[in-house]
Structure 1
Amino acid sequence: MMFKPIRSLELRLTLLVTGCAAMVLCAVAFMTYLGINHILIAQQDRALVERIERLEILLQDSSNIEQIIARPKLYQNMLGNQDNLFLLIQGDQILININPLGIPLPEFTHQPQIQFQDLSAHTYPTRIAWKTIQINQQPYVLIAGKQWSERLAIISPFQKRLFIYVFTGILAIFILCAIASRLGLNALRTLREQTHAINIHKLEQRLNLVHPPQEIEQLASDINAMLDRIEMGYSQLNRFSEDIAHEFRTPLNNLIGQTEILLMNERSPAQYQELLISNLEDYQRLKRMIDSMLFLARADAHKVCLNKQKIQLKSFIEDIFSIFEYQAEEQHCNFVLRLEATELLADPELLQQALYNLISNALIHGGNHRTIYVLSRRKIINNMQMITLSVITSGLEVAPEHLPHLFERFYQCSSSRQSPHQTGGLGLSIVASILTLHQGMYQAVNSAEGICFELLFPDV
C-alpha cells in the first residue's frame, strides 16, 4: 500500500517541528528516568555500604562474632524486613545465613573493596554487596543484600507519570505548532489569494503584502518582476500581432485592388504583364517579412546554430559594399571603410545579414548624397574586451525619443508604410537578435557625423 505524500506546507511544518520536539522530549525523559534510577541505586548502594561497614565493626569483636554465629536469629531480628539478606562465609563454610527468600547466590571473589551485583534471575530481584574482611587473621566474606522493591515502588509510578507528561507535552506542542504555522503562513495565503486574482485582463495588478516575512517578501518581489516581464511580453505580442496584420494587409490590399481593377474590363497582354510585375514586388515583400519572422522565432527559441569563424573584416565588408554598388551610384552615395580592428570572431552568414540590414537601412532612410561610414575599433566595456562595428550615415539624425525603440519589431519612426522599400520594421530587430546570439550588445546613437548603429562583439 502506497501512502500519498503530505502536500500541505502547514501540516508539514507542524509535523516536522512536533517530531523534532517529541524526540527532544523523549530524550530528556529517558535521561531523567536514567538519572532518577541511578540516584536510587546510589542511595541503595550507600545503605548496603553502611550496613557492611557497621557489620564489619561489629564482627571485629571476637565475642560478637561468636554470639552472632551462635544466635543468627538475633541479627535477623535486627535486620527486620524479609527483603534483607546477610551472609558470613569463611572458606566453604557459611557461618551466618540470613536469606529468608532463598535468593540463589553467585560465586564470590575475594576482594578487599566492596563489590556490587544485581541478581535479577530470581522472583525477587535483589542487589547485593560483598567484601572480604580479616577477623583474627582469617578471611571472611561478608555479604549484604536488599531487594529492588523499594526502588521499583518509586521508579514505576514515576515512569508512568513521565510517560503521561511526555505525551501531554507532545500534544501541546502539536497544537501550538499548528496555531503558529497557521499564523506564520498567513502571508503565504494572502500571496496566493492576490496571485489567484491576477488574470489576462488584470496583468497590471501587482502583489502587495503588509509586513510579510523576508522570504515571502522576496517571493512576492520575484513574482512581481515576473508579472512585469509577462505584461511587457504580452503587450509586445499584441503590438506585434497588430503590426503584422497591418503589414500583411497593405500588400494584400494592393494585390486585391489592382487585380479587381484589371479584371473589370478587357486588358491587353502588356497590361496583364505589368500587373504581374507589380504584384511580384508585393509577393517579394511578403516573403521577406515571413522569412524575417521565421528567423526571429528561431532566434528567440535558441534554434539558430552559430558557426563562428575568424573573419577578415576588410574583404568581408568590401564584398557587402559591392552588393549595394549600383544602388549607391543611383543615390550618389559613397562608402568609407575605417578599420582599427581587422579580425572578428563571428558567424559569417549572420554577420553579413546584420551589416546588410544596416547598410540597406542607411541607403533607404538616408536618401541621396550621403556618405556611409563603416568603422571598427576595440573597446573595454565592464572589464570586457569588445570589438565594435559602427555603421554611420552622414548628416542624418533620429529624434532622441525614437532611439531606444529602433530595434523593436515593426517599430518605425514614420507612420507611413507605403514605401516600396519597406521591410516591415524587422530589419533592425534581426540585427538585435544576431547580436544577442553572439552574446554581444547593440545601440543607436546620434554622433557628430550622423546617426550611428553600433554592434559590439566579444573579443575572444
Structure 2
Amino acid sequence: MSWRRGRPLSLTLRVALLLAAVSVASFLAVGAYLYHTLQRQMSSRDDVELIVKADQVRHLIAGMPSAEAVRREAHALKDTLYGHNDFMLRVNAADGKPLLQTAVTSRPLPQVDSVPAQRALTLDDIHDWQPASGVGRMVRATGQAGADPVQVTLARERSDRLQVLRVYAGDLLLALGGGALLATLLGYVIVHRSMRQLRSVVAKANDISTSRMNTRLSVQDAPVELRELGAAFNAMLNRLEDGVQRLSGFAADLAHDMRTPLNTLMMETQVALSRARTVEEYQALLASNFEEYERLSRMIDNTLFLARVDNAQLALKREPLDLQAELQRIHDYFEFLADDAGVRLGVEAEPLRASIDPVLLQRAVSNLMANALAHTPAGGAVTLSARQGEEGVEIAVANSGPGIDPAHLPHIFDRYYRADQARSAGAGLGLSIVRAIMELHGGNISVASQPGLTTFSLRFKKI
C-alpha cells in the first residue's frame, strides 16, 4: 500500500508554529516558576504565623499560676486564634490530661517530640501531617504554668491553600493558551510580512527566461539574511546568462561548421547525379565525401566527449606510462603532417614515468599538436617536451607561431570560445577538451604566449 505525502507546510507557517512552541515552552517555564514560588511563599508565611501563635500561647501560659488556671483562662488562649478557624489548639497537663482543645482535626495528629520550654521555637520545629484534605502543619512545645509543665500542640489544616493553588494554576493555563495563540498569530503576521522580500525573489525568478536573463535582484535594501541569497542568485544568473550566450554561439557555430561539409556533400552528389560518370570519377567523389564525413564525425565525437565529462560518465584508466616513449609515438604520428607544412618537429623529453590514462593523454597532446601545427608558418618549429616539476610531471607543446592576442588568453580554454589566432577551424572545442582531460586527472593546463613563441603546459600531479 502506498502512502501519499501531504502538502508540506509553508515556511511562514513553520516559523509561526516554531514561535508558538517557543512561546508555550517559555510560558510553561515561567508559569511553573511562579506557581512554585507562590506555593513556597504561602507555606513559609503559614509556618511563620504558626510559630508566632504558638509563642503567644506559651507566653500567656507562662503568666498563669498553675495548670488548672489554663482551664479557667481558656478564653484568653482562644482569643489568640480569633479569626483563624483553621487552627486547632490543644493543651495537656503533664499526665496527659486535656486542659484545653479548640477543635478536632479531621485525622489524628502524629506523635512528635515536644520542644523544651527553655528553647525558642524555630521553623525547623514544624512538622507535616496529612489531614483529610488540604495540607497540614503542626508544632508541639512545652509550656510552664507556674510550677506545672504543660504540653501545647498547635496544628493548622489549610484545605483552602490547595483551592487557591488550583485557581492560580487554572488562570496560568488560560493565560498560557491565550499567550500561545496570540504569539502564533503575531508570529504568522510578522513572518508573512518579512517574507515579502523572498516572494519578490520568487516573482523575479518566474519572470526569467532564456530571452530575458538580464534581470537581477536588488540586494542593497534586502535584509542581511536574504542579502547573501540575492548575491548568490545574481551570481548564478550571471553564470547562466554567460552559458546561454556561449551555448547559443556554439549552436550557431556548430550549425555553420556542419552546414559546410553537408553542403559540399549535397553539391557534389547533385553534380555526380547530373550525368553518367566513370568509375574513376565516382571513386574521387566518394573519397571527397569520406573526408567530409570524417570532419562531421570529429565534431560529433568532441561534443559527446565533453557531454560525458560533464555528466561524470567518463572513468579514468590510469597506467604507469613511459612518457618519453609516449611523446615519441605522438611525434612520429605528426611528423609527416609537419613535413608537409614545412615545420620542424622535435621532442625534448626526460626519461619519466607517470600514472596517466594513455588514451586521454594521447588525445590531449594530439589536440595541442594539431593546434600548434595549424598556427605555425612554414619554416617554423614545434617542440614537444616533458620534464619533472615540483608537484609532478609537466608536458609542454611550444610553437614559433605569431602568438595569441592577450585579449583572448583569459577565455582561450572556455568551451565554445573561438578566436582566429587561438583556435583551429571547427566548433571551438579542442582546447576545452584538453582542459577537461586535465581536470579529470586532477591537473591543470596553462598557456604563455608572445610573438614568436606560444607554449601550452600540461601539469600532472603525483599520485
- Deviation (angstroms), 1:140: 4.6
Report Cα offsets for 1:28-75 as digits up to 9, x if no partner: 222222222322222221121112112223333562531223564664
How do 1:44-63 and structure 2 match up within 5 A? 44-61=46-63, 63=65
Equivalent residue number for residue 440 of structure 1: 443
- Deviation (angstroms), 1:440: 2.0
Amino acid at match of 1:266: A
Distance 1:79 1:362, change over 3 A: closer
How do 1:80-95 and structure 2 match up within 5 A? 80-81=82-83, 82-89=85-92, 93-95=96-98
- Deviation (angstroms), 1:386: 4.9
> Which of 391, 395, 401 does residue 389 from structure 1 map onto?
395
Match status 1:400 vs 2:406: yes
- Count the aligned residue pairs: 452
How far apart, CA to CA, are the structure 1 residues paired with 2:92 and 2:236?
91
> Which of 443, 457, 461 does residue 458 from structure 1 map onto?
461
Q: Assess if the C-alpha contact under 8 Å between 1:339 and 1:376 holds in 2.
A: yes
Percent identity at matched positions? 27
Please say which of residues 43-52 and 91-100 is displaced more in the overlay. 91-100
Equivalent residue number for residue 290 of structure 2: 280
Q: Give the TM-score taking structure 1 as reference length.
A: 0.86
Distance 1:246 1:57, change over 3 A: same
Report Cα offsets for 1:172-193 as digits up to 9, x if no partner: 4334323332333332222222
Match status 1:204 vs 2:214: yes
Distance 1:425 1:50, change over 3 A: closer
Distance 1:438 1:34, change over 3 A: same
The SS at the match of 2:375 is helix
How far apart, CA to CA, are the structure 2 residues paired with 1:446 and 1:123?
100
Please say which of residues 302-311 and 132-141 is displaced more in the overlay. 132-141
How far apart, CA to CA, are the structure 2 residues paired with 1:340 and 1:148?
102
Please say which of residues 100-109 and 350-359 is displaced more in the overlay. 100-109
Amino acid at match of 1:318: Q
Equivalent residue number for residue 370 of structure 2: 360
How do 1:405-424 and structure 2 match up within 5 A? 405-409=411-415, 411-414=417-420, 422=425, 424=427
The SS at the match of 1:79 is coil
Equivalent residue number for residue 191 of structure 1: 201
Equivalent residue number for residue 98 of structure 1: 101
How far apart, CA to CA, are the structure 1 residues paired with 2:327 and 2:134?
107
The SS at the match of 1:451 is strand
How far apart, CA to CA, are the structure 2 residues paired with 1:346 and 1:8?
51
> Which of 32, 35, 41 does residue 33 from structure 1 map onto?
35
How far apart, CA to CA, are the structure 1 residues paired with 2:336 and 2:308?
33
The SS at the match of 1:336 is strand
Q: Extract structure 1 runs of 4+ deviating beyond 6 A.
A: 134-139
Q: Assess if the C-alpha contact under 8 Å between 1:87 and 1:94 holds in 2.
A: no
Equivalent residue number for residue 118 of structure 2: none
How far apart, CA to CA, are the structure 2 residues paired with 1:93 and 1:375?
120
Report Cα offsets for 1:346-388 as digits up to 9, x if no partner: 22211111111211222233242221112334556xxxx2533
Report Cα offsets for 1:83-106 as digits up to 9, x if no partner: 321112457734235243543223
Please say which of residues 120-129 and 288-297 is displaced more in the overlay. 120-129
Q: Assess if the C-alpha contact under 8 Å between 2:126 and 2:139 holds in 1.
A: yes
- Deviation (angstroms), 1:391: 0.9
Report Cα offsets for 1:379-410 as digits up to 9, x if no partner: 56xxxx25332211114323333334443455
How far apart, CA to CA, are the structure 2 residues paired with 1:423 and 1:80?
113
How far apart, CA to CA, are the structure 2 residues paired with 1:275 and 1:409?
34
Q: Assess if the C-alpha contact under 8 Å between 1:288 and 1:423 holds in 2.
A: no
The SS at the match of 2:126 is strand
Please say which of residues 30-39 and 402-411 is displaced more in the overlay. 402-411
Equivalent residue number for residue 329 of structure 1: 339
Distance 1:310 1:91, change over 3 A: farther
Distance 1:408 1:182, change over 3 A: closer
Equivalent residue number for residue 22 of structure 2: 20
- Name structure 2 gaps, 5 residues minimum: 116-120
Equivalent residue number for residue 13 of structure 2: 11
How far apart, CA to CA, are the structure 2 residues paired with 1:170 and 1:149?
32
How far apart, CA to CA, are the structure 2 residues paired with 1:373 and 1:3?
65
Equivalent residue number for residue 234 of structure 1: 244
Q: Give the TM-score taking structure 2 as reference length.
A: 0.86
- Deviation (angstroms), 1:207: 1.4
How far apart, CA to CA, are the structure 2 residues paired with 1:21 and 1:409?
55
Amino acid at match of 1:399: D
The SS at the match of 2:209 is coil
Q: Assess if the C-alpha contact under 8 Å between 1:332 and 1:369 holds in 2.
A: yes
Distance 1:456 1:264, change over 3 A: same
Report Cα offsets for 1:140-180 as digits up to 9, x if no partner: 54211233266467656555554444444434433432333
How far apart, CA to CA, are the structure 2 residues paired with 1:196 and 1:365?
47
- Deviation (angstroms), 1:295: 1.6
> Which of 308, 329, 332 does residue 319 from structure 1 map onto?
329
Distance 1:296 1:101, change over 3 A: same
- Deviation (angstroms), 1:257: 0.7
Report Cα offsets for 1:122-141 as digits up to 9, x if no partner: 25754322234567887754
How far apart, CA to CA, are the structure 2 residues paired with 1:336 and 1:459?
26
> Which of 229, 244, 255 does residue 245 from structure 1 map onto?
255
How do 1:149-168 and structure 2 match up within 5 A? 151=161, 158-168=168-178
Report Cα offsets for 1:279-314 as digits up to 9, x if no partner: 111122222222222222112212211122333322
Please say which of residues 16-25 and 440-449 is displaced more in the overlay. 440-449
Amino acid at match of 2:243: G
Report Cα offsets for 1:404-433 as digits up to 9, x if no partner: 444345554449x9xxx9554433232122
How far apart, CA to CA, are the structure 2 residues paired with 1:198 and 1:149?
73
The SS at the match of 2:203 is helix
Q: Assess if the C-alpha contact under 8 Å between 1:127 and 1:146 holds in 2.
A: yes
Q: Assess if the C-alpha contact under 8 Å between 2:335 and 2:345 holds in 1.
A: no
Q: Assess if the C-alpha contact under 8 Å between 2:134 and 2:162 holds in 1.
A: no
Equivalent residue number for residue 374 of structure 1: 384
How far apart, CA to CA, are the structure 1 residues paired with 2:220 and 2:416?
42
- Deviation (angstroms), 1:263: 0.8
Distance 1:376 1:139, change over 3 A: farther
Aligned-pair RMSD on alpha carbons?
3.2
Q: Assess if the C-alpha contact under 8 Å between 1:333 and 1:368 holds in 2.
A: yes
